[in-house]
Structure 1
Amino acid sequence: MADISSYSWVPPANKISSLHYDNCDIPSEWLSNFYRSSHEWPMNATRNMILAGYNRYWIDNNITPPKPREVEDWYFNATFINKEKQPRNALVDSTFANCLDQFCSLLPWKGNADFAGRGMLATYATEAIFTTLYITILLIGQYGRRPKSGTWKNRLGRIHEATNESLRPFLDAALLLTIAMLVAANYNFGITIYDPTKAVTSTSCVMSAFVSLFTIFPTIALHTSASHSLRRSKFRTWTWGLIGALTASMMGLFIWAIYITGISRRYYYDGLGLDTSGQLFFERNCLNMDALIEFDNSLLILFAILGLVVLVYLLLRCLWRRPFSKKNRFLLKLRLIWPLLTVLWAVLAMWASFGVFVYYRKNLDSRAGDMSEDHEWSFGQILAIFTFAPVVIEWTSIWWEGAEEGLNGLMSDQYKVYRNDALPQVEETHAEIKA
């Protein structure tokens, strides 16, 4: 094998990094193949990489380009015999510096489809839009001017009635989605802490936590707007207790995993050897880490605001139960407008958090390639969208048939629904039948 010192075409040490490529096809393909083949250097691709990268240097210095075999001998001797890292590092650094976007797009990054896929994004948007429509209609019915015209009064009355009477299934669906997202987020953090070798990415953990907090806001808005007319209050109290416990657990695990033990940072290097899917490698090298840190901070701010509002509400509940609160005008007025303030705050927080999520989803996915599942629809995502299908069906049936007929359709023929103002007449009729 030839001595590398005899190669006049080899760049000196201070110019070993003078690589230049007309496009990023060769370097990005070379480096992606290296990482996808368990860190084994593909010799043919490496030879072509060197020939293409130093071609400009040889032309500028009037040096005859070497033969492919000479390039292979030089690189093999320098890297594997003399244990020199400079030639290899020059190729790697050049690719990272000039071709990072194309290189990252070739990596098998799968994304976070369970939380950020198109179907899930459509589910979040559907819930936010439906919540806004429901809240708007209910507030107009409660605080707006009612039309004097009989036709408009009947039409708007039907819409308000359908919205009010279908609010219960909507709230139940929102509660179910919130609990499901919180359980998934707790699992994500739990498995990361329990077994650090699991390739659970930071983006997966943070996104699961963020969307689970997002789903709480529409649920708060719906529950507050209808709490005065809903039954099963004890059951819903226990449900909110469960949501509170899951939220506190999730945020505790989040802070422990990200900030205290630093799992997302500490175990990157340990996990890379076990990360056969390449998810941790993509996150460490291709993601905008500043954006990820900002996303972490947004999650903490969101949780702090939610915790502050809950704390204020609990304090006010304690005050409203005291006898002196009935004589305090400020507390009386605050008690009257608190539901409205809570609903408006929850709707604003819902849309703000949704906007932040969409922004960072786009930012963190900007370098993903065709293998990213965030751009695909899965069976589970389609099922998630249909979480709110019963709400649409019930609203439509009540609006079309009226509240009594629409609600009657939800029960067997052994029972019948009557309006509260019709109860005296119904009781009188029943008494006559019995007589």
Structure 2
Amino acid sequence: MSGSEILPLLTYPHHTHIRNSSTSPAQFIPSSSVTYPEQQSWIGWMDWKKRLPMEWLDRFLGINFDGYWSDIECHKEVCEKLHWEGNADLAGVGMVASYIIEMALTTAFVLGVGLLLSARALTTDSAVLDSLFIDPKDTSTKCFSNALQTSVGVFWDTALMFAITIIIAGVTVSWHNSSSYYTMFFASLSSNLATAAVVVVWPLYLPNCRHITYRWAALCVVCMGNAAIATNYWLTGPDSGARAQDIHLSYDWTCLSMRVHHGIQFWPHAVLLVPAFVASLVPITLLAGYILTAILVIQRKIRGLPSPSLDSPVFTTVSIATVFILPGICITMFTLMWVSLAFLIKHRGIVAGVAGPSLQEGYWSFGQILALATWVPTLVDFFAIWKVGLFVALASGLSRLMLILVRPYQDDHIPTSTRNRAFTRYPGQAKDDIQQ
């Protein structure tokens, strides 16, 4: 059976395509007028719905669905009818490059802050880290810790706007009635990637930033929008609403299950749903903290008592929840972020093997170029913040770079009191370290 013979089925999605054995032309009969024996009982009806359209194609058209896909895979025309030719603005080359840049910067900041905290734990005074100057001419604002904090803020604000854009596009595409399951699948993966980066870097920046309320609100909108996209994909199966009567979409779901899911429905759904569920815990945790605080304040106001202090039991409970729950969410999202990226790259390859030359995700488009251009101002800001340290590192070699990051590279700019406190624990090495 060639791809051209199956096109009438896809051209008339709301009709059952039954070929009359006595005549060569195909006759199209409304699906509502066809009676199936399996529909006599509830169990039989459910079983019939699960087998549709695979056995439906075999019964009425004489097409061996498994053999069709295993032998000749998917024709270009069929991919175009199913909208499997790709969506470059969701999973194109430029979008994947943007996701990789975002993931790499997220990982770099997590490691940088982790090394900074580890170094502080090993020193007798945290002021030592404030003397790791990136720019010897500006010792007030260009220390390593301040430069890192500024870089995190620049990156997080850019990642937040990028995530909001992806969420708006994902909601628009996913909730459209004619969207294919392929489009919904990659829209959910893309929104997971954009949301994960914002959630992971969030604790490193928000506690010290200005206008924190607005950023909290934007973060909650991103998390809930991501959850809405994943939930819509989960609930909009082949048996839901109008899609259950659309043979075109049922055919699309079966193709996606066979080619992308490989017959295992749980794991792909888990990759889409688990990150969205974990991210939704962020606004839930924040909302719970605000509710507990409001209840305590209102209760004390009714009793005529003063407002509670920060060391009250409720505030202590909220602080404990913030200290333990939110970092756990961030660590989980960091792992799921890379898992989602691996799934995106893997499934792009699978679909590329099915669609062949008709795949549009290998071509550049306006949206992909715009996504890459989003990170240009961020990279320029990074260069402006770290340029002196980078120039010194390039001039002095890798050893000098390590010296900038972990030790003062110019002793004259370190206050005497700070230098003395720094080497109190290592009196025997103080002279050698100062000479270096």
Conserved 8 A contact 1:217-1:350 = yes
Provide the residue aligned with 1:121 in structure 2. Answer: 96
Give the partner amino acid of 2:186.
M
- 1:96–1:170 distance in 2 versus 1, CA, 3 Å: same
Residue from 384, 387, 391 that aligns with 2:374: 387
Offset of residue 241 of structure 1: 4.2
Q: Is the 1:159–1:399 Cα contact (8 Å) retained in structure 2?
A: no
Q: In the alignment, is residue 344 of structure 1 matched against residue 315 of structure 2?
A: no
Which residue, 3, 17, 24 being the options, matches 1:80?
Answer: 24
Residues 195-214 of structure 1 aligned to structure 2 (within 5 Å): 198=178, 200-214=179-193
Residues 292 and 364, structure 1, Cα contact 8 Å, conserved in 2: no
TM-score by length of structure 1 reads: 0.60
> 2:174, 2:184 within 8 Å by CA — same for their partners in 1?
yes
1:34 maps to what in 2?
Answer: 5
| Partner deviation per Cα, 1:271-304 (whole Å, 9 max, x = no partner) | 98xxxxxx78965886656356642343233333
Does residue 191 of the first structure (1) align with residue 166 of the second (2)?
A: no
Question: How far did residue 225 of structure 1 move?
Answer: 0.8
1:395-433 CA-to-partner distances (Å, cap 9, x unmatched) read 11111258xxxxxxxxxxxxxxxxxxxxxxxxxxxxxxx
Q: Offset of 1:390 from its aligned partner?
A: 1.2
Between the aligned partners of 2:59 and 2:234, the Cα distance in structure 1 is 36
Distance between the aligned counterparts of 1:140 and 1:304, measured in 2? 30
The one-letter amino acid paired with 1:171 is W
Residues matched between the structures, number: 321
Instruction: Write the letter of the residue equivalent to 2:88.
Output: A
Partner of 1:140: 115
Aligned to 1:295: 268
C-alpha deviation, 1:317, in angstroms: 5.5
1:104 equivalent in structure 2: 74
**Preserved CA contact (<8 Å) 1:171 1:219:** yes
What percentage of aligned pairs have identical amino acids?
Answer: 18
Structure 2's unaligned 5+ residue stretches are: 12-19, 28-57, 136-141, 297-307, 390-436
User: What is the identity, as a one-letter code, of the residue corresponding to 2:150?
Assistant: E
In the alignment, what sits opposite 2:49?
none
- Aligned-residue offset at 1:139: 2.6
Relative to structure 1, the CA distance from residue 105 to residue 354 in structure 2 (aligned partners, 3 Å threshold; closer, same or farther) is same
Whole-Å separation in 1 of the counterparts to 2:218 and 2:198: 12
Q: In structure 2, which of residues 162, 179, 200 is the aligned counterpart of residue 177 of structure 1?
A: 162
CA contact (8 A) 1:104 1:367 kept: yes
Paired with 1:366 and 1:359, the residues of 2 have a C-alpha distance of 11
| Distance in 1 between residues matched to 2:199 and 2:96, nearest whole Å | 20
Return the letter of the residue paired with 2:336.
Answer: A
Q: Please say if 1:238 is aligned against 2:223.
A: no
Which structure has the bigger radius of gyration? 1
Aligned partners of 1:259 and 1:281: how far apart in 2?
A: 9
Query: RMSD of aligned C-alpha atoms?
Result: 4.3
Shift of 1:226: 0.8
**Match for 2:271: what amino acid?**
S
Deviation, 1:205, is 1.1
Say whether residues 1:396 and 2:383 are aligned partners: yes
- Contact kept, 8 Å, 2:86 with 2:361, in 1: the verdict is yes
Give yes or no for contact 2:94–2:371 (8 Å, CA) kept in 1.
Answer: yes
Q: What secondary structure is seen at the aligned counterpart in 2 of 1:399?
A: helix
